Amino acid sequence: MGAMAEARYDRSFPPDIQPARDAARLELRASDADRDHTAAVLGNALATGRLTTTEHAERLDAAYTATTLGELALLTRDLPADDATGTGLGAVDRAEVAARFSKVIRSGRWVAGRHTRLTAHFGALIINLADAVLPGREITLDIDAWCGKLIVTIPAGAHVIDEGGALFAKRAIYGRQQSDDADGPVIRLVGDARFSKVAVYRGRYDPRTGLAGSALSRPRPRGRDLIQGDRRRHPGVQRLRTVGHRDAHKQIARGGHHP
């Protein structure tokens, strides 16, 4: 009876049906939960020494840009299937960078958290997200600035949503958003800045040169520079001449004006 049932099973489901189902499943679109599971596997592989920091960053970046399950499977095919714990997921879920009475720079290939807290108390904090691994399409930056300076560099095509507050502080976003990049990451700013400066730059920002080459870096003309500029644009404008005190009195006495 068991053999007959097995025979009927074999006739109903050909031997190659399972590989076909697996291949079809790999073509399915990946969800956020699938990407998070892959990130957990990669995070635990980093903690156990199976991946280097560079390999982990590259694979994690590829995981959060993957669109199908097959692309995710390629990232963990050389890792144990059960090598997934909560530590890897927690590493990309929350992160914190703080500068207290100091200057801290975080740049290069580093892994940001989905919810990253940035603290600047009586210090300067420079964060570069242009080359960082962003775990997901939307990143929330929780700002806590008190008598400090916070500079954040984001990808050129990022969308910025500023929902934070300011008390005797300055919050500014520099650089135009690229209209043709609709799939860019979303950077959401929350938190408060008190007696501080918070500046967000799109693209590249070098703290050593600031906004070199941009319109904001050009010095504003003043005084004599304005006069010289008018003379170059309008040749009819005469150069202003200074007159000594005695010469002025002589001209007034003669009823004339200094040429």
pLDDT for position 113: 86
Q: Which two tokens stand for residue 127?
A: 């964060």
pLDDT for position 161: 94
What's the rounded Cα separation, in Å, for the pair 20 and 17?
5
pLDDT for position 183: 72
Task: Give the DSSP per-residue string, the chain.
Answer: -HHHHHHHHHHHS-TTHHHHHHHHHHTSBPPHHHHHHHHHHHHHHHHTTSS-HHHHHHHHHHHTT--BHHHHHHHSTTS-TT---HHHHHHHHEEEEEEESSEEEE-SS-B--SEEEEEEESSEEEEE-SSSB-SSSEEEEEEEEES-EEEEEE-TT-EEEE--EEES-EEEEESPPPTT-TT--EEEEEEEEES-EEEEEES--BTTTBSTTSGGGSPPP-THHHHHHHHHH-TTSPPP----HHHHHHHHHHT----
Q: Which two tokens stand for residue 246?
A: 């005695």
pLDDT for position 232: 54
Name the nearest CA neighbour of 136 among 25, 33, 27.
33
Tens place of pLDDT per residue across the chain (259 aa): 444 444 444 445 555 555 666 667 778 998 888 888 888 888 888 878 888 888 888 888 888 888 999 999 999 999 886 665 554 555 567 889 999 999 999 998 888 888 999 999 999 999 999 888 888 888 999 999 999 999 999 988 899 999 999 999 999 999 877 655 667 889 999 999 999 999 999 876 665 555 444 434 445 555 555 445 545 555 554 454 555 656 666 666 666 554 4
